[in-house]
A and B are shown apart, each in its own frame.
Chain A
Amino acid sequence: MLFNSLEFVFFFPIVVGLYFALPHRFRWILLLAASYYFYMCWKAEYVVLIMLSTVVDYFASLRMSKFQEKEKRKPYLYLSLLANLGVLFGFKYFNFFNDSTRAVFEHFNLFYDVPAFDVLLPVGISFYTFQTLSYTIDVYNGRIKPESNLGIFALYVSFWPQLVAGPIERPQNLLHQFYEKHSFNYENVTNGLKLMTWGFFKKLVIADRLAVFVNEVYNSPQHFEGLTVILATISFAFQIFCDFSGYSDIAIGAALVMGYRLMKNFDGPYLSQSISEFWRRWHISLSTWFRDYVYIPLGGNRTVKWRWYYNLFITFTVSGLWHGANWTFVVWGALHGALLVVENMTKFQKERFEASISKSRMWIPYQVFQTIKIFALACLGWVFFRANTISDAWHIIISTFSWTSGIDIPFLLSRIPKFVVVAIGIMMIVQLIRRLSKKNMRDLVSSIPLIPRWTLYIGILLIIAFYGSFHSNSEFIYFQF
Chain B
Amino acid sequence: MAKRFFLKIFVLGVILWSIFYALDYLMTKKALEDKCRRSNWVFSFKNQHFDFVFAGDSRVYNMIDIPTIHNVTGKKGLNIGYSGTIFEEQLLIIRKFIENGNRIDKLFLQADILSFNSARRSRHQFRFYNYVAYLRIDNLVSSVIENNVNQFHFACWKYVPYFRFVEYNLEYPISILFKDFSSCSTEFDSYGTKLFRGVSPKFNRNADEYIQTPRLDTLDANLFPFDTTGMVASKTMNHFKQIIRFCKQKQIEVVLYTPPIFSSTSSGIQNRVNYINFINQIAIENNVEYLTFLNDSLCLDKDNFFDSAHMNALGTKKFSNVMSAYIK
Give A contacts to B, CB under 8 Å. Answer: 6, 20, 184-186, 189-190, 454, 457-458, 461-462, 465-470
Residue in chain B with minimal CB distance to A189: B5
Are B153's CB and A186's CB within 8 A? no
**Contact check: which of B15, B16, B20, B156 meets A6 at CB < 8 Å?**
B156
Judging by beta carbons under 8 Å apart, are B166 and A470 in contact? yes
Show the binding face of B for A, using Cβ within 8 Å.
1-2, 4-5, 8, 12, 15-16, 19-20, 152-153, 156, 162, 166-170, 173-174
Contact B1 A185 (CB under 8 A): yes
B152: A residues at CB distance < 8 A: 6
Q: Name the residue on B nearest A13 (C-beta).
A: B9
How far does the Cβ of B250 sit from chain A's closest Cβ, in whole Å? 36
**Which secondary structure dominates chain B's binding surface?**
helix
Q: Which residues of chain A are near B15, meaning CB under 8 Å?
A: 458
A466 touches B156 (CB 8 A): no
Note all chain A residues with C-beta closer than 8 A to B166. 465-466, 468, 470
A333-B153 Cα distance, complex, nearest whole Å = 42
Could you tell me the distance in whole angstroms from the C-beta of A246 to the nearest C-beta in chain B? 18
A470 to B1 alpha-carbon distance, docked (Å): 33
Given A462-B19, A466-B173, A184 contacting B156 (CB threshold 8 A): no
* Contact in complex: A184, B1 (CB < 8 Å): yes
Q: Report if A470-B167 is in contact (Cβ < 8 Å); known contacts: A190-B5, A462-B19, A465-B162.
A: yes
Question: Of A184, A189, A470, which one neighbours B169 at CB under 8 angstroms?
Answer: A470
Smallest Cβ-Cβ distance to B162: which chain A residue:
A465
**With A454-B12, A466-B166 given, can you name 8 additional A-B contacts, CB distance below 8 Å?**
A6-B152, A184-B5, A185-B1, A458-B12, A466-B169, A466-B173, A466-B174, A467-B169
Cβ distance B10 to chain A, nearest Cβ, rounded Å: 13
Q: Can you name the residue of chain A whose Cβ is closest to the Cβ of B173?
A: A466
Inter-chain contact count A-B, CB under 8 Å? 39
Q: Determine the distance from Cα of A20 to Cα of B1 in the docked complex, in whole angstroms.
A: 13
Q: Which residue of A lies closest to B156 (CB)?
A: A6
B153 vs chain A, min Cβ distance (A): 6
Question: When the two chains form their complex, are residues A461 and B2 in contact, meaning their CB atoms are under 8 A apart?
Answer: no
Q: Contacts of A461 on B, CB cut-off 8 Å?
A: 16
Contact residue among B5, B16, B19, B169 (Cβ-Cβ distance under 8 Å from A468): B169
User: Which residue of the partner chain, among A6, A20, A467, A469, contacts B153 with CB atoms under 8 Å?
Assistant: A6
User: How far apart are the CA atoms of A204 and B46 in the complex, in Å?
Assistant: 40
Contact B16 A184 (CB under 8 A): no
Chain A residue nearest in CB terms to B2 = A184
Give complex CA distance A457, B16 in Å: 11
- A457 x B12 contact (CB < 8 A): yes
Q: Chain B residues near A458: list those with CB within 8 A.
A: 12, 15-16, 19
Show 22 residue pairs from A and B whose CB-CB distance is below 8 angstroms, ordered by the A residue. Answer: A6-B153, A6-B156, A185-B1, A186-B4, A186-B5, A189-B5, A190-B5, A454-B12, A457-B12, A458-B12, A458-B15, A458-B19, A461-B16, A465-B166, A466-B169, A466-B173, A466-B174, A467-B169, A468-B166, A468-B169, A470-B168, A470-B169
**How far apart are the CA atoms of A465 and B20 in the complex, in Å?**
10
Task: Give the docked Cα–Cα distance between A302 and B1 (Å).
Answer: 51
Q: Is the CB of B1 within 8 A of A186?
A: yes
- Nearest chain A CB to B43's CB is how many angstroms away? 25
